[in-house]
Copies of this chain bind each other. A is one copy, B any other.
């Protein structure tokens, strides 16, 4: 178990958001793993998170529903792969809950997300690695505004934690 599974991001296939946030990582972890908190920060405004379901273990469901300002809803059903409290959270939409291969109809390219939290002074180094199966998927996700969207969500997360 000495070799790490996740290597360097592949710039052709991956997107990465890295942030230093000035809140402790335990609180960032809680914000990512508590449905009531997720609903308050996960989707960049003016969109909202209409629903969130979390069964926090490998094979468990991670379902979010984003709602547009016009009220259109976009569910996203994922499956957790790795759960290391306060350190690492991994999920994918290439598998349905229970690890079944996903029958996808979403326009979002299939992805696996690795959230890594590291202590950084009194705050947290927050890294979101998003892996795609091909360059087309990575580029499409990039063009959909990955960095702005995930960046704004990270800001919303930090704001929420500070207000609580």
Residues of A that sit less than 8 Å from B by CB: 1, 3, 5-7, 13, 55, 57-60, 81-82, 90, 92, 94-103, 110-112, 114, 131-134, 137
A5 touches B98 (CB 8 A): yes
Report how far A114 CA is from B59 CA in the complex, Å. 12
A82 touches B101 (CB 8 A): no
Question: In the assembled complex, which residues on chain B have CB atoms less than 8 Å from the CB atom of A5?
Answer: 57-60, 97-99
Copies in the complex: 2
A112 touches B100 (CB 8 A): yes
Question: In the assembled complex, which residues on chain B have CB atoms less than 8 Å from the CB atom of A103?
Answer: 133-134
Q: Tell me the nearest residue of chain B to A100, going by C-beta.
A: B131
Given A81-B81, A92-B95, are A100 and B57 neighbors across the interface (CB < 8 Å)? no
A92 touches B82 (CB 8 A): no
Report how far A50 CA is from B6 CA in the complex, Å. 27
Question: In the assembled complex, which residues on chain B have CB atoms less than 8 Å from the CB atom of A3?
Answer: 55
> Nearest Cβ in chain B — how far from A4, in angstroms?
9
Question: In the assembled complex, which residues on chain B have CB atoms less than 8 Å from the CB atom of A1?
Answer: 57
Q: Tell me the nearest residue of chain B to A3, going by C-beta.
A: B55
Question: In the assembled complex, which residues on chain B have CB atoms less than 8 Å from the CB atom of A7?
Answer: 98
Most buried by B among A58, A60, A94: A94
Report how far A6 CA is from B114 CA in the complex, Å. 23
A102 touches B133 (CB 8 A): yes
